[in-house]
Structure 1
Amino acid sequence: MKALKILALALALLLALSACGVIRSGDGPTQAAGGSSPAEEPAPETAPESPEEAPPEVPTLRVGALKGPTAMGLIRMIADGGVNRYTLAGSADELTPAFIKGDLDIICVPANLAAVLYNKTEGQIVTLAVNTLGVLYIVENGGESVRSMADLKGKTIAAAGKGSTPEFGLRYLLEQNGLDPDRDVAVDWKSEHAECVAALAAGTADIALLPQPFVTVAQGKLENLRVALDLTEEWDALDNGSAMITGVAVARRELVEERPELVDKFLMEYAESVEWVHENTAGAAELVAQNGIIESPAIAEKALPRCNIVCLTGQEMYEKLSGYLQVLAEAAPESVGGVLPRDDFYYGA
């Protein structure tokens, strides 16, 4: 029995020693002194992913123009799209409220209206360019009674553009030819030039005051319609030191002062568009029709060379426009808003 007890004790000691050896040589984690686990090795540092940079914001200009020569000069810019947004309207009354509110940045409007807006906003608009020279005509359907301004005495004229260049240009020329615009001539004012064409076609008017391209549109519908008087020629015959101007492009002064680089870029693209229109009449006519300015590309192609589309800036703009407004102001101060604009009305002059 004593021998068995010694053997059992030896086996117990052997097992205890084996257990200690397993703990010391095992693969599992060991505890550090004090009973705490050793710090785990930190994960390798990786550079944080940089967020994708947002593309720079491209400024958008909101541009309004009338369905006529003022929009036709812009037609390549309109067709190309780009970042700018374009609004085409049948009358200036559709554009000016949005412009004054700040919903449009640049608008193309009758020349005298630009001066009126300058005075109405206390100088908060700037004229960027003359975009249309004289395009006004007196047309007569099926008759030969009008051969001079004096022949308009006693006649009724269908016209659009009351309060802007067509009205004041006509009044000035009538007065210069010895007629009283309020007594000697009756003017049936329409809201749009297209209404004048419709009146001629319906036979409710025989004589109308129309700008291009509406003259060409009307001649396409009425084979007996003839151009009786070219008001640009009538104006030039007065030799008053000015030229007849139909339309201009104006901008909000805030835009001009805060983002002149945008204004200069717009004018550069505008000049390029006008040049392209003159050099690519057929292609421009297609775009004019596609954008609803004239319904027929063939009529648009005939009208474009007669529309006197230009892009005059700087000193040339100043000389032509200031002379024209001076003549209007002397004849009817209300035509320019009461007083002539100051020199800050003319961009780059």
Structure 2
Amino acid sequence: MFANPPIIPGIAETTFEAAPSVDALIPKLIKGEVDIGILPPNVAAKINSLHPESFLVCAVVGNGMLSVVTTDQSLTSPAGLKEKKVVVAGQGSTPEYVFRTLLDYHNIEKNVTLDFSLPTPEIAAALISGKIDYAVLPEPFATVAVMNGKKAGVQVRRGWSLVDGWREAGYGSDFPMTLCVVRKDIFESHPDAVRVFLAEYRKSIEWVLRNPQEAGPLVEAAGLGLKAQIAEQAIPVCNFVFIPAQEGQEQIEGLLSVFLKFSPDSIGGKLPEDAFYLK
């Protein structure tokens, strides 16, 4: 969409912005400076609890993309993490709580040390240098670690997929990582325009998934911090999806229930009402 903004009836211009962080995006959504945004599910739920009915969830646009990335060539299951230290990308967020849930399911949560001391962009280099041996990483950072490790002559690999672990534990077919949300007043004043945008967004995701080689240079040109070659390799494993809110509600609530167990305040103390989801 950065490269070819959609033409939306009734809307003079559609502009896109890559926010440097979720924290930078939240005030803009609340103040009305941004009409549509992409947020982690727990952040969306938390804002909804503080500003009821400020926006609606339109769709799940990114599903689980977490792996335990390691230089340990023998790791294939969580059992291999007993008595190990694992660096986790994102304290108090989806990587931590999904990982802890799965460790608990395998009865080894107390036997694994979680380390949150490294910023996510530095984890790949720490793996390659041997500073750390195990890390829970989302895409595209896992792909960065694997590819840069190969260049350095170090075999970095995805040892265990948390998505597979989630499925095998019976928590659901997948868990959401990112949601598309729209300000409620914008949907109420321009419902057709929002629907056109969402239809075009879906087409954009589908095109990227079909054409990672062509999409790679567009990712680099958009200033998202990824080189085209890495983006091309990451796209097929980033688990981009477009699942309308109503269809994804059960999946979203499955993940938010994990936050409710570990940190109720992180989602506002309860699951959002049905009015949270665009019908």
Aligned to 1:310: 241
Aligned-pair CA distance for 1:238: 0.8
1:172 deviates by 1.5
Decide which structure has the larger Cα Rg and report it: 1
Q: CA RMSD in A?
A: 2.2
| Amino acid aligned to 2:176 | I
| Cα distance, 1:207 vs structure 2 | 1.4
Superposed CA offset, 1:69-111 (max 9, x none): xxxxxxxx11114622222134322322332333222221222
Task: Report the more deviating stretch, 107-116 or 331-340.
Answer: 331-340
Alpha carbons of 1:123 and 1:163: their partners in 2 closer, same or farther (altered >3 Å)?
farther
Seen in structure 2, the aligned counterparts of structure 1 residues 297 and 221 have a Cα distance that, compared at 3 Å, is: same
Residue 68 of structure 2 is aligned to residue 144 of structure 1: no
CA contact (8 A) 1:150 1:178 kept: no
Residue among 112, 115, 123 paired with 1:187: 115
TM-aligned CA deviation for residue 112 of structure 1:
2.1
Does the residue aligned with 1:243 lie in a helix, a strand or coil? coil
1:79 paired residue number: 3
Alpha-carbon distance change, 129 to 218 in structure 1, aligned in 2, over 3 angstroms: same
Could you tell me which residue of structure 1 aligns to residue 10 of structure 2? none
Amino acid at match of 2:242: C
The alignment partner of 1:95 has SS state of helix
Does structure 2 retain, via aligned residues, the 8 Å contact 1:242–1:323?
A: no
Corresponding residue SS for 2:218: helix
Identify the match of residue 278 of structure 1 among 204, 209, 213: 209
* Worse-matched range after superposition: 244-253 or 129-138: 244-253
- Report how many aligned residue pairs link the two structures: 269
Could you tell me how far apart the structure 2 residues matched to 1:345 and 1:295 are?
Answer: 33
Superposition TM-score, scaled by structure 1 size: 0.70
Partner of 1:204 in structure 2? 131
The answer to whether structure 1 residue 135 and structure 2 residue 65 are counterparts is yes
Alignment-derived partner of residue 82 in structure 2: 153
Kept in 2, the 8 Å contact 1:140–1:208? The answer is yes
Paired with 2:115 and 2:163, the residues of 1 have a C-alpha distance of 19
**Identity over aligned pairs, percent:** 36
In structure 2, the CA distance between the partners of 1:163 and 1:258, relative to structure 1 (3 Å rule), is farther
| 2:34 maps to 1:104 | yes
- Taking the aligned partners of 1:119 and 1:145, their CA distance within structure 2 comes to 44
Separation in structure 1 between the aligned mates of residue 143 and residue 216 of structure 2, nearest angstrom = 13
TM-score of the aligned structures, taking structure 2 as reference length: 0.87
Structure 1 counterpart of 2:96? 167
1:1-349 to 2 correspondence within 5 Å?
77-81=1-5, 83-141=13-71, 143-144=72-73, 146-180=75-109, 184-191=112-119, 193-223=120-150, 224-241=155-172, 243-293=174-224, 295-330=226-261, 332-348=263-279
Equivalent residue, structure 2, for 1:66: none
- Give unmatched runs, 5+ long, in structure 2: 7-12
1:180 Cα deviation after fit: 3.4
User: 8 Å contact 2:67–2:158 — kept in the other structure?
Assistant: yes
